[in-house]
Amino acid sequence: MTGGDLLQEAVAELYSCDPGEFVERRGVLVARARAAGEAALGKRIAGLRKPTRSAWVLNQLARSAPAVTSQLDALGEELRVAQSSLDGAAIRELSLRRRQLIDALARQAFTVSGVQSPSAGLRDEVTATLGAAVADPQFAEQLREGALTEAAHRDGFGSAAASAVAVLASFPGRAHSPAARRAAAAPVTRAAKTTVLADARERAELERHRRAIAAAEQAVAEADKAASAAARTEREHDSAVRLLEEQLTEARQRLAEARLQARRATAGQRRAQLALDRLQEHPPRPSSSLG
């Protein structure tokens, strides 16, 4: 079996076990690899990050039902096509399907992972990550591997992105419609003025929505930046913890060896003391020839 196969086995074991057992199991696998002379493999296993609770829940879903990521990917492709063509009816239908699919998969994820009463925060992280898999094919591929370490911070078809699609779908360019062109060419009657004013109001509303979208996207960008900084700090602390764990493992091994040597030395001391006691209790008798 190659080192890559052994690493995949380690990944499968670690990201399938409960997060509370992750660090201990990782230490065992690292020690086993080193004992087998696979120092490089041990280092790679030691670098595997502990998943958050939400990531672990989704890993269980991906490993128990691999087809779910294909469902997310396929729906995401349909949404991208509908958005690129600004097909409002299709976007509304697909958005409804998206919500239904994510809700169903979230329930399935909690069921297969044995989480009976998930908190609101945990549920939000799971649904947001499923939404990210719909929006991003690369993220869907990561989910398919069943080795996520943390939840997604946003999904591409939610919040600002969905608002932009809804705005564009709601205002399909009335200024370019045949009725608008006829109104522009006709004498300016009261009805025509009303039509022009209505178009102006719609354009103003569209502009307000666009500004709101820009502000929301800026807020998302700032939140992403803060989340990235927090994740970087988490990784630094995680690396420090792993180093301490390795040092603790080595110290325990040295302690075990020292205890074994102490037990052997104590046993030798006892044997020597018994031999001395026997010699003192039974001194040699003087020979009669010496008299």
pLDDT tens readout for residues 20-48: 888 998 999 999 889 888 888 889 999 89
Distance (Å, rounded) from C-alpha 134 to C-alpha 48? 26
CB neighbour class for 68 (10 Å; exposed up to 12, middle 13-18, buried from 19): buried
pLDDT the model gives residue 203: 65
Q: 138 pLDDT band (50/70/90 cuts)?
A: confident
Cα angle value 9/13/14 (rounded, 5°): 115
Please, what is the average pLDDT of the chain? 77
Distance (Å, rounded) from C-alpha 13 to C-alpha 7? 10
- Higher per-residue confidence, 139 vs 75: 75
Q: pLDDT at residue 255 above 80?
A: yes
Q: pLDDT at residue 152 above 60?
A: yes
pLDDT the model gives residue 162: 36
Distance (Å, rounded) from C-alpha 165 to C-alpha 82? 10
- The answer to which of 24-28, 134-138, 169-173, 237-241 has the lowest mean pLDDT is 169-173
Distance (Å, rounded) from C-alpha 290 to C-alpha 256? 55
Query: Is there a contact between 136 and 36 (Cβ–Cβ < 8 Å)?
Result: no
Q: Which two tokens stand for residue 262?
A: 């102490």
- Higher per-residue confidence, 161 vs 9: 9
Q: 185 pLDDT band (50/70/90 cuts)?
A: very low
* CB neighbourhood size of 160 (10 A): 19
Q: What is the dihedral of CA 27, 32, 38, 39, to 10 degrees?
A: 30
CB neighbour class for 8 (10 Å; exposed up to 12, middle 13-18, buried from 19): middle
pLDDT the model gives residue 89: 87
Query: Is there a contact between 195 and 180 (Cβ–Cβ < 8 Å)?
Result: yes
Query: Is there a contact between 60 and 121 (Cβ–Cβ < 8 Å)?
Result: no
CA 16 to chain centre: 13
Q: pLDDT at residue 177 above 50?
A: no
Question: Which element (helix H / strand E) includes 114?
Answer: none
CA distances from 134 to 98, 202, 277 (A): 8, 31, 82
pLDDT the model gives residue 275: 87
